[in-house]
Each structure stands twice: as C-alpha cells, then as structure tokens.
Amino acid sequence: MKFLYLVWRNLTRRKLRTTLTILSILVAFVLYGFMGAIREALSGGVSVAGADRLVVRHKVSIIQMLPITYQQRIERIPGVTLSSHQSWFGGIYQDPKNFFASMPVEPERFLSIYNEFTLPEAQRKAWLANRTGAIVGRATLDRFGWKVGDRISLKSPIWQHPNNDDTWQFDLVGVYDALKKGSDTSGFFFRYDYFDEGRAYAKGMVGWYVVRIQNPDRAAEVAKAIDAEFENSPYETKTEPEGAFAQGWAQQIGDMGKITTSILTAVFFTILLVAGNTMAQSVRERTEEIGVLKAMGFSNRLVLGVVLAESFSIAGLGGFVGLGFVWALVSVWNPVPSMLPVFYIPNHDLVVGFILVLVLGFLAGIFPASQAMRLRIAEALRRQA
C-alpha cells in the first residue's frame, strides 16, 4: 500500500498523456459495448427462439402464402400440440422510417404459443371482445408514446382496405411485456378476423404457421411429417425450427451488421494497441529511474508490481468506466430502433469486456515491467552517464 503513492505520482507525471490514454481506452470499450449490442440485436431473435416451435412456410418463398385450411391438417399431425398463423402486414405508422413489425394473428392461439409474452388478463379480454383491437410491445409503445385506448392508423403498402383506401384503424387495447431479457417487444398484433374481412383480395390465405410441438428432440421428424402432408399440393411447405427461420430473416440486415461489427472490431483493437504501446512507452522512458530503484534495493518482484499497478490503473479506469458508460447508454438509447428492435449488451459480452480490460492492463504492463525487471542495474545507470 505504501507504494501506491509512487504509482499515483507516475500516473500523474504526464497528465495529458495519461488522460488521453485513458480516454482512448474508454472510447474503445464504448465501441466494444455497442458492438456487442448490435451483434445481439442481429441474432437476438434467434437466440430467444423457442426450441419447441416450428415455422411452416411456403416452400418457394416466405412471400407466398398458404391456405388457412392447412391449420387443421397441421394440428392433426402427431407431435403437434398447437398452431397459429401470422401474415406480413407491413404497416406504416405516419412515416416509412417508423418501421416495426405488424401482423394479423389469432389472439388466443398467438398468446398461448408465445407464452414468453405477458399481457394483463383485462387487456386480453378486451382484445378478444374488440374486433379492431390490437396489442403492442412495450418497446414500440414507449417509442411513440402511445397509451392503451389510443386509436392507431396504419397504412399497408400490401393490403388495401376497401372502405378507406390503404389506411387501417386499430384500437390499442393492450401492451405486452417479455419475460425474458432480449425478447423483441416491438411487434404490433391485431385480429385476423378483422383483417380477413377488410382485405380486398387473397382472403383465406395466411403468411406462415407457427407450430408448437410436444418434444423438441423430435423437431426434425415432425417437420418432415408436416412437409410430407402437403407434398404435391399447390402449396408445398417448408418447415424449420423458429431459430433457423429468424436467422434467415436476420440474414438480410445481418450482412450489414457483420460489416459494421468487423469495422468496430478493427477500430477496437487498433485503439488498444496504440494505448498499450503508449503505456509501455511511458515505462521505457523511465529506465534509469527503475535502475535507481533497483540499486536502492527494490526487488524485481516489487518493480514488476509497481509497473503493473500503473498499467492496470490506466486500463481499469478507461475500460471499466467505458463499459459502465456504454451499458448505461445502451439501456436508454437505441441508435436505430426500427432495425434493431432488441438493443442491449448481453451479459457474456460484459464479462468478456471485463476480462479484456484485465488482459489489456496485464499485457501493456508485463512487457515493459519484465524488461524493467530484467534490466541490469549497472546498465540502467550507465545510460545516463
């Protein structure tokens, strides 16, 4: 402890350099946090996908629809316990950049299949009682400052409402939350019966089915049975686990995400290298001073400790403050909510970040420290003479 003052004085020896080094490490770890959040956002749907859910879609493409009559046939297949269909509505709220997913669903089946969503009982009843009723996730509710009871108008570029051009009116009757952190609560769901009655064409057709199965271990088998059921029909199906389905979906923006994260990764490591080098440099400049300390009787271990304490302080100050800051920032701010509905830093990324801070402190210190340790005193003292 009595050596901490020496460490402190060395840190404050060149305040500007120390400050800039700490700041650059801080920035690096803010980037790191964002990177983690973006990566999670792009694969988030996948990792929270239910293992006991399959998605049945048209064999050719997700855009092509399936008949509503398939529902009964799917539910007759052994191993299937429940199914619920969804269709892509593509609703636009005021402006196309206000994107969020909107879909007609069957309320009861939907809520029972997506049991990670919680909706207060009164709101559930209200939804069942109101044909124009709709529920929305907490994220989108907060994003637009909606309240239950609001009347929401959405335009759909796909589905014309015969009565009033392309604008559909909904009554917001409920807001759902997710039990599990990382679940997407940006979706807007309304009643299929209202939709089917209102749409001008393709009545009786739905986008895809989400199927709950009894035993996730038998997912492949059940999927095969479903696809076999509709083989050689006009609408052949492709059934896959929900995770794979979500992944295919995310692939479209995923590539862009990959580019973003690889750039951020490069920037992150570059900053760390520069910071590490600066830290090492500041120790190298003090070779004679370290030589004097050793001549005085400071042991190699003590010199090592003093140098490492210094580099850990810099790395820790920049790194931990940076991680804390980005964690707080991400929990209140999302740069592109329309594309990244789920935005948070996963715990494992925080843990890895924590370890990276320690590794940085260690590596930036250990090289000059071990040099300082091995330094022959006579040599160090000769440098000046």
Partner 1 sequence: MSTTDGVLVRVKEVDKVFRRGSEEIHVLTGLNLEVKAGEFLALMGPSGSGKSTLLNLIGGLDRATRGTVEIGGDRVDQMSDHALSGWRARHIGLVFQFYNLLPVLTAERNVELPLLLTHLSKAERRKHVEVALGMVGLSHRTRHYPRQMSGGEQQRVGIARAIVTDPTILLCDEPTGDLDRKSGDEILALLQALSRDHGKTIVMVTHDPHASARASRTVYLNKGQLFSENPG
Q: Which residues contact ligand ATP by CB under 6 A?
A: 379, 382
- Helix axis angle for 287-296 and 300-332, nearest 10°, is 130
CB 313, min distance to partner 1, A:
15
CB 284, min distance to partner 1, A:
16
CB 363, min distance to partner 1, A:
25
CB 360, min distance to partner 1, A:
24
Question: Which residue is associated with the tokens 């479209």?
Answer: 252
- Specify the residue, 155 or 286, whose C-beta has the smaller distance to partner 1: 286
Which candidate, 81, 103, 78, 80, places its Cα nearest to that of 90?
Answer: 103
Can you tell me whether residue 104 is helix, strand or coil?
strand
Whole-angstrom Cα distance, residue 116 to residue 243? Answer: 15
Q: Among ligand ATP, partner 1, none, what binds residue 5 when CB lies within 5 to 8 Å by partner kind?
A: partner 1
Quick check: 231 and 77 in contact, CB under 8 A? no
Q: Among ligand ATP, partner 1, none, what binds residue 384 when CB lies within 5 to 8 Å by partner kind?
A: partner 1
Q: Among ligand ATP, partner 1, none, what binds residue 333 when CB lies within 5 to 8 Å by partner kind?
A: none
**In the numeric block, which tokens belong to residue 163?**
């009565």
Amino acid, res. 370:
S
The Cβ-side half-sphere exposure at 140, using a 13 Å CA radius, reads: 27
- Specify the residue, 179 or 385, whose C-beta has the smaller distance to partner 1: 385
CB 372, min distance to ligand ATP, A:
17
CB 382, min distance to ligand ATP, A:
6
> Exposed, middle or buried: residue 50 (CB in 10 Å: 0-12, 13-18, 19+)?
middle
- Specify the residue, 16 or 378, whose C-beta has the smaller distance to partner 1: 378
- Specify the residue, 193 or 379, whose C-beta has the smaller distance to ligand ATP: 379
Whole-angstrom Cα distance, residue 316 to residue 357? Answer: 6
Q: Among ligand ATP, partner 1, none, what binds residue 295 when CB lies within 5 to 8 Å by partner kind?
A: partner 1
- Specify the residue, 181 or 382, whose C-beta has the smaller distance to ligand ATP: 382
CB 5, min distance to partner 1, A:
7
Q: Among ligand ATP, partner 1, none, what binds residue 297 when CB lies within 5 to 8 Å by partner kind?
A: partner 1
Residue sitting closest to ligand ATP (CB) = 379
At a CB cut-off of 8 Å and minimum separation 6, what does 250 contact? 42, 43, 45, 46
The Cα angle at residue 359 between residues 354 and 363, in degrees rounded to 5: 155
**In the numeric block, which tokens belong to residue 165?**
């051009």
Give the residues lining the site for partner 1 (CB under 8 A): 2-3, 5-6, 9-10, 12-13, 288-289, 292-302, 376-378, 381-382, 384-385
